Amino acid sequence: MLQAPFPTPALSRQLVLASTSRYRRELLQRLQLPFDIESPDVDETPLPGEAPAPLAQRLALAKAHAVALRHPNALVIGSDQVADLAGEPLGKPGGHERAVAQLQRMRGQSVVFQTAVAVVCLESGFAQAELAQVRVRFRDLHDDEIERYLRAEQPYDCAGSAKSEGLGIALLDAIDSDDPTALIGLPLIRTCRLLRAAGARLP
C-alpha cells in the first residue's frame, strides 16, 4: 500500500483510493488530504448489453466496495471511466493496434466520457456514487496524425486512447464538462461533494 505525503488529516477516518491509476492519484493529491492507495482487483468486463454510464457507475461502486471490505472503517473512493461512442462502451485499448482502431472510429465524432466516482464506508453504512459526463468532439483525424500521436504519447492505459491533459488535446475540437478533472479520470467536484456527505471536512 502506498501513502501520499501529506500531514495532519482533515479526516476522522482513513481515506483510501481504490485505484492504482497514477492519474487518479495525482488528482486526489490536489485536495491535500492524506490517503492510502490499494488495488481493487475488480473484473471490468461489461455485462451483456450494459450501457456505458451504468457500467462506469457499477464499476466505481464495485471497486470501492472491494477495498472497503479490507478497510471497513475507512472512506474508500472508487472511480471508473468509459468512453461512450453512440452508446457503445470503449475501454482502455491496452496496445497500439486497438488504440489506432479506437481513434479511427472516433475521428469527427462526439464521444461522451462517462466518469463515475463512488465513496463507501462500511462501518457508517455510507455508499454513494455520482456520474460526470464529458462531451468531447474529436477532429477529423488523418491516419498519420493518429500514428504520430500514439507513438509520441502511448496512451494505452486511457479510455478512448487520448490524454487530454497532454498532447491528446491537439486531437480535439471541443470539450464540454461541468467537472473539469473528470476527463482525466476523477471528477474532483463530485468527489469533494461525496466526501463531505460522508463526513469529511475539506478546505
The three three-digit cell numbers of residue 16, written as one number:
483510501
The three three-digit cell numbers of residue 101, written as one number:
482502431
Smallest CA-to-CA distance from 181 within 22, 17, 18, 24 is with 24
CA–CA dist 8, 146 (Å, integer): 45
Query: By the 8 A CB rule, do 81 and 113 touch?
Result: yes
Which residues are annotated as catalytic? 80
Smallest CA-to-CA distance from 112 within 56, 157, 156 is with 56
CA–CA dist 198, 196 (Å, integer): 5
CA–CA dist 183, 177 (Å, integer): 8
The three three-digit cell numbers of residue 39, written as one number:
488495488
